[in-house]
Chains A and B, each alone.
Chain A
């Protein structure tokens, strides 16, 4: 009886001690404990994605014949060979541009390096508009870096763990950036507007000069602005089909239709500023 009582009291004391330690621990200790926990937990986000890849691999092995797979592999090899040639051409052009820049004493055009990453998880609902990608600080990714894909802007890195990163999507209400319309250089402000149930993701554009108009027949393409320095110029954000004049009579505002492919994005590229790479 006495032993049981002692055990119960001891358990309560341990629990109270841990609780007190959590509450009273210095902020630095709590911060690093939290970070360590995040890092420890981070692979859990990546593992399902990797299992998914494995599942697809076995799916191919089980459902397709060897000859079919070989045929697809050949096609892929041909495509890769084509891309390799293109890459070589690009490299040649790039070095030519660099040499011309040197001759003309122009500042270098290349401001970003791309780090391609695979999407591990998607948290897209009315509250959260996040992606988790399978690359992190170990690959040079830091918070605030821009993330793009073939269809345009994906978002911005809001958290960089060692091997994974959290990307806030362009449709998130917390995402705001400078932009401009294609063929226009006057800056406007874009902000995500979330996504309603059964509807595409959308955003809002404001501070649009009053002389700009958009319609379904003549939509305006909203693209990134290089003004803030985190995005290169001209990457598609979305289309604007209607701009309403604000009561001040100076600006218009409107809704931005984001690309539908944004919801199913699998591979993204994180833009790492060259200046940051040079610092490192």
Chain B
């Protein structure tokens, strides 16, 4: 009875709740209206950002071929398991808090005030990241039964630069590992399997310096691409690091593709709303003849050296060898292999960057200079007694017993130093330097992959600049035989030889095979040699004689007349006197098609010589060239 009375009695407090609920509903309706009307754009964009993803895929790089269409560089796929940092940020934070608690508890227990010292925050952040990543790696190792270790401490850099891209934990998985992980890793895990491509060099260490290598790019060019405000995932592209890969990066690089997709609440793709496929970069036809390149590199073998072979008419580089070399497929993967390459000095492209005194191969320039200045002619005979006295110093010949009476042809064939000391001194160092410069020995060959800008044709000014005093006759005698301060690259000497073979002063080297290229004198940028027909023939005969009966006879081959000049230069490396074996050659002598230079570095004093060391390499290269 009491309760019935209680339930029917008017309670004056109830309307207060009505009003409270009414006010609350009004506030809700007002807030809803505000969001629907005034914040429409804001939420639309936010919705797009949450439900749409932009993926930028770098285009595959183009392939590189040799002049006969043989594949020299291509892309090879491999599988990687990586982890998305943005998916494990919470775990990083949790681990950081755990480490911080342990540290602070320990400090408190030791009676210290719990606080970080300088640098400790960053150290602990790195440690937290390492711990989390190691946990995931441990999980993979458990699945695979393997023992992979964390990649070196580059995850912090990756975290800073590419937080949206997967961080590769294990690269180049085997087919079995890939299959197991594909089945065992949940599809929506922060760990993801993805395909990447690497550059593949089918010929290994052959032509490695010319072809070059690539490195991962820091980002993919997405300028001007739509969807800049969307959450973006971008793949890692490749850029050329050296050689053709670098010089023709603009051509080989693919065009990035773009996908904008709507994803569901689980992050799976629902539908593509924009899909622009990446495009593979253009292929490049290099001027190299890989078979010829291989023959030359095999001939050089384990020695240190370089060689350059040019098409005389076009200046196209048929082979550009530098040994020791490295295998670009493996050298960046193995610390031991990398260290061995470093130790051997394999990074240097000796053919384009190595600077060496050209030795007696330079006598061609001295001979030209002597003939052009009138210091000698084709009838000039000089007596060689095995030495030549310049001022108070005796300059030796390569034959210490002397060559006897020699004309220019004979002096070139036997590489008589005395003949060229006298010729050089008679025509003067300025004339020799002028001829060398006319032949382009002080400027770039124009090759697209770059060559050394530090070649030297010495002059009195140069010597003074180097603080080595004034010019003396001994300097002239030295440069007359390609010694002294003269420094040239093997490619430079090959270009000089090709120019001489055509009767012109310059050869523009190119690594691109272009059958449509017009290669006249204007293209090469030179002019006719300042020699009469007879003068030219005299030098030519001397070079032919050198290959048939002279110092270059080890280069001769059956059926083709070769014009060659050998050289053995002396250098001092780290206080040790060493020798360099040189040879320049072109063939056929009466209708030149191919020109080349070879240089081999000696390892012990006098262990190499132009004829005996470089000659067989020229022979092998010429045989290969004319076999085709």
A interface residues, Cβ below 8 angstroms from B:
144, 156, 173-178, 187, 189, 191, 207, 225, 227-230, 247-251
A99 to B184, CA, bound (A): 35
Residues of A within 8 A of B401 (CB): none
- Inter-chain contact count A-B, CB under 8 Å? 68
Which of B7-15, B100-108, B274-282, B402-410 sits within the interface? B274-282
A227 to B180, CA, bound (A): 7
A247 touches B179 (CB 8 A): no
Report if B357 contacts A (CB, 8 A): no
Report how many residues on chain B are interfacial, defined by Cβ distance under 8 Å.
27
A220 to B57, CA, bound (A): 29
A28 to B144, CA, bound (A): 28
Residues of A within 8 A of B188 (CB): 174
User: What 1/0 mask marks residues of chain B from 193 to 213 whose CB sits below 8 Å from any chain A CB?
Assistant: 101010000000000000000
A229 to B183, CA, bound (A): 10
Chain B residue nearest in CB terms to A178: B179
B59 touches A228 (CB 8 A): no
A227 to B277, CA, bound (A): 32
Which residues of chain B (166-219) have a CB below 8 Å from chain A?
Answer: 175-176, 178-180, 182-184, 186-188, 193, 195, 197
B279 touches A250 (CB 8 A): no
Report if B268 contacts A (CB, 8 A): yes
Contact with A247, one of B182, B183, B268, B278 (Cβ below 8 angstroms): B278
Known: A174-B188, A227-B175, A228-B182. Contact between A247 and B279, CB under 8 A?
Answer: yes
Chain B nearest CB from A153 CB (Å) reads 12
Chain A nearest CB from B529 CB (Å) reads 49
A191 to B182, CA, bound (A): 9
A174 touches B178 (CB 8 A): no
Residues of A within 8 A of B278 (CB): 247-248
A173 touches B183 (CB 8 A): no
13 additional contacts (CB under 8 A) given A177-B179, A229-B180, A247-B60: A173-B187, A173-B266, A176-B182, A176-B183, A177-B183, A178-B178, A178-B179, A187-B175, A187-B179, A207-B195, A228-B180, A247-B57, A250-B77
Chain A residue nearest in CB terms to B63: A249
Residues of B within 8 A of A175 (CB): 187
B179 touches A251 (CB 8 A): no
| In the A-B complex, the 5 residue pairs with the closest CB atoms | A178-B179, A227-B179, A228-B179, A247-B277, A228-B183
Chain B nearest CB from A198 CB (Å) reads 18
Chain A nearest CB from B255 CB (Å) reads 10
Count chain A CB atoms within 10 A of each CB in B75, B187, B257, B278 and give the residue with the most. B187
Residues of A within 8 A of B60 (CB): 247-250
B182 touches A178 (CB 8 A): yes
A177 to B184, CA, bound (A): 8
B277 touches A251 (CB 8 A): no
B280 touches A189 (CB 8 A): no
Contact with A251, one of B184, B195, B266 (Cβ below 8 angstroms): B195
Residues of B within 8 A of A174 (CB): 186-188
Chain B nearest CB from A49 CB (Å) reads 28
Interchain Cβ contacts under 8 Å between A and B, 11 examples = A144-B184, A175-B187, A176-B183, A178-B180, A178-B182, A187-B178, A189-B178, A227-B176, A227-B180, A248-B278, A250-B75
Chain B nearest CB from A157 CB (Å) reads 12
Chain B nearest CB from A214 CB (Å) reads 20
Residues of A within 8 A of B175 (CB): 187, 227
Chain A nearest CB from B269 CB (Å) reads 10
A251 to B79, CA, bound (A): 12
A176 touches B187 (CB 8 A): yes
Chain A nearest CB from B6 CB (Å) reads 10
Residues of B within 8 A of A191 (CB): 187
A62 to B278, CA, bound (A): 67
Residues of A within 8 A of B195 (CB): 207, 248, 250-251
Residues of B within 8 A of A228 (CB): 176, 179-180, 182-184
A230 to B184, CA, bound (A): 10
Chain A nearest CB from B123 CB (Å) reads 30
Which residues of chain B (240-272) have a CB below 8 Å from chain A?
Answer: 257, 266, 268
Chain A nearest CB from B276 CB (Å) reads 9
Chain B residue nearest in CB terms to A192: B187
